[in-house]
Structure 1
Amino acid sequence: MHPILFRIGAYPVHTFGVMMMLAFAVGLWRAHSAAKRQKGEPGDVPPEAILDAGTWMILAGILGARLMFIIVDWSTYRSNILSSFRLWEGGLSFHGALFGGLLALIIFCRLRHISLLKITDLMAPSVMLSYAIGRIGCFFNGCCYGAPTNLPWGVRFDDDGHWTVPSHPTQMYSTLLSLCFFGILVWLERRKAFDGQLLCWYIILGATERFVMEIWRGGVTSTVVALGLTDVQFLCLSMMALAAIGLVVLRRAGRLSSTGNTAALEVAGH
């Protein structure tokens, strides 16, 4: 653990905050680069729109991630509401970040008349990469750790002045798995067949990552509901199912659109 990276005079610079800034910067750069590689077809997303949308998503994503984390771990925060505003101490939720960021992006796209599916496809790999980097900040901050373990790589974390028993470093598990999923999304990006494809796969992979992490977190910040699964895991399963349905629906819509465009070109040719 290394929560304070360095100090400027009497002011500490927290590792978590630095890693979050790095995550946002890398994510925006990568998405902006992807936008510049578009083929120049009608409806393509302007590269500058990525930077504007990213700013909206970052602010809304942080707010949503923090709110969801507080709701899930309300027993910790209800006795000290002011601690809810200490973002530098860590404590963010994947689901909250996803919902908050997506809501902001929907509003942004409606105001700027940009295709939501196209811009989310451009951003999906970058968001996964940013998430992987951000989780490193969680590790150094000592938040979001897992259940106790006897494995040799178990880590003791400082929890409000009390050292935990060796626990799963789920933050680093999350980083490694997210990097693998980032690679999958990049592979899919090069083979994209229809708008919305990468968005749906991001939701499936992101929910899979969170579902798997719950196994090693042992219900630390969530409640076991049924079948040995937590409420968060049931939410993840619901997200996977909806995204899978989305893949089928959007694929069919893409084929119909492609068929319609081909027919229109044939008519125009005659």
Structure 2
Amino acid sequence: MNFLLGALNPIAFTLGPIEVHWYGIIIASAVVLAVYLSVKEGRKRGIIDDDIYDMLLWALPFSIISARLYYVIFQWSYYADHLNEVYRVWDGGIAIYGALIGALITVIVFCRKRKIPVFLMLDVIAPTVILAQGIGRWGNFMNQEAYGAVTSLEFLQKLHLPIFIIQQMNIQGAYRQPTFLYESLWNIAGFIILFCLRGRKNLFKRGDVFLSYVTWYSLGRFFIEQMRTDSLMLGALRVSQWLSLVLFVGAIAMCLLKRYWQPLEPWYLEGITKYDNK
């Protein structure tokens, strides 16, 4: 088969001197969808809309900053000699785990200030966060990032991928494993599972939806990260693999300990209860 298509243009359009990238459009669209779904679910659990909107105003900038800091810290051997590039986020170099850590800290602080149960808020937003992550990976696709090892055209064709994906995986003269796609599908599958299960009675205690998200995401990320060639390394494993391993074990342990030490923890479906200091 003869492919005539070239790589997709990462720039969607220009506004004078400003270039608007598909990466930003895709990420922004994912965030808007996540907020919309979180607000709808939050209403059912007794969380008012403004709490979610206000939390987002704090979480977005902090998550971007922490995502960049995470990347810079593990690439300090380069940035130590290029301090003027530390803030150049538009040149690439942000880490999703860094963004999640920053967002988590923001949610915890915000909820404690507003006297909202932290785990309940995390339960509400967790499924939409993993959906946004799944959509966001297509921004990496447009930038030809988050790819895997060199592979063959025949292998990609056997995956029955659309031509535009196959051609976009031709990076620097070689076809690459579409690891962005593997993670996107894994994340969207996680969203579907959590979305379908969280409405069942007597299944999830408060905090279980969030911990299930952490378990699911970290499990997939551990194996998919091993396939990538652009990852930050730390010893024998990639940085994200180490963190995925810690999160996977930690989430399962916390879920079991919560069931043992807090058997009277409210069910997720109860939402805000009279015992919560709202």
TM-score, normalised to structure 2, is 0.80
Q: Gapped runs of 5+ residues in structure 2?
A: 1-7, 157-165, 267-278
Shift of 1:215: 2.2
Matched, 1:28 2:30: no
- The equivalent residue for 2:273 is none
**CA–CA separation in structure 1 for the residues paired with 2:253 and 2:99:** 22
Q: Is the 8 A contact 1:91 1:144 kept in 2?
A: no
Closer, same or farther in 2 for the Cα pair 1:90/1:29, shift >3 Å?
farther
Deviations 1:78-110 (A, max 9, x none): 443333323334433222111111011111112
Amino acid at match of 2:214: I
- Secondary structure of 1:101's counterpart equals helix
Question: For residues 210 and 107 of structure 2, what CA distance do their matches in structure 1 show?
Answer: 12
The 8 Å contact of residues 226 and 238 in structure 2, kept in 1 or not, is answered as: no
Comparing 171-180 and 96-105, the one that deviates more: 171-180
Give aligned pairs, total.
245
Q: CA contact under 8 A between 1:5 and 1:14: conserved in structure 2?
A: yes
Look up the match of 1:166: 175
Task: List gaps (5 residues or longer) in structure 1.
Answer: 39-43, 158-162, 259-270
Per-residue Cα deviation, 1:174-216 (whole angstroms, up to 9, x for no partner): 2111111111111232134311001111111121232122121
* In structure 2, C-alpha distance between the alignment counterparts of 1:81 and 1:142, rounded to whole Å: 25
Could you list the per-position Cα deviations for residues 44-80 of structure 1 after superposition, in whole angstroms to 9, with x for gaps in the alignment? 3223211111222222212212221223344554443
In 2, Cα distance between equivalents of 1:98 and 1:240 = 15
Residue in 1 that maps onto 2:216: 205
**CA distance in structure 2 between the partners assigned to 1:69 and 1:170 by the alignment:** 19
Task: State the partner residue of 2:186.
Answer: 177
Conserved in 2, the CA contact under 8 Å of 1:195 and 1:254?
Answer: no
1:128-167 alignment to 2 at 5 Å? 128-150=130-152, 151-152=155-156, 153=166, 155-157=169-171, 163=172, 165-167=174-176
Matching residue within 3, 12, 20 for 1:5: 12
The answer to which structure, 1 or 2, has the higher relative contact order (CA under 8 A, 6+ apart) is 2
Aligned partners of 1:133, 1:75: CA distance in 2, in Å? 32
Aligned to 1:51: 53
SS in 1 for 2:38: helix
Task: Quickly say closer, same or farther: Cα 1:101–1:230, change in 2 above 3 A.
Answer: same
* 2:122 matched residue in structure 1: 120
Secondary structure of the corresponding residue to residue 85 of structure 1:
coil
**Contact 1:69/1:92 (<8 A) preserved:** yes
Q: Tell me the amino acid that sits aligned with residue 50 of structure 2.
A: E
Report the counterpart of residue 244 of structure 2 in structure 1.
Answer: 236
- When normalised by structure 1's length, the TM-score is 0.82
2:4: which partner in 1? none
Are the counterparts in 2 of residues 91 and 143 from structure 1 also a CA contact under 8 Å?
no
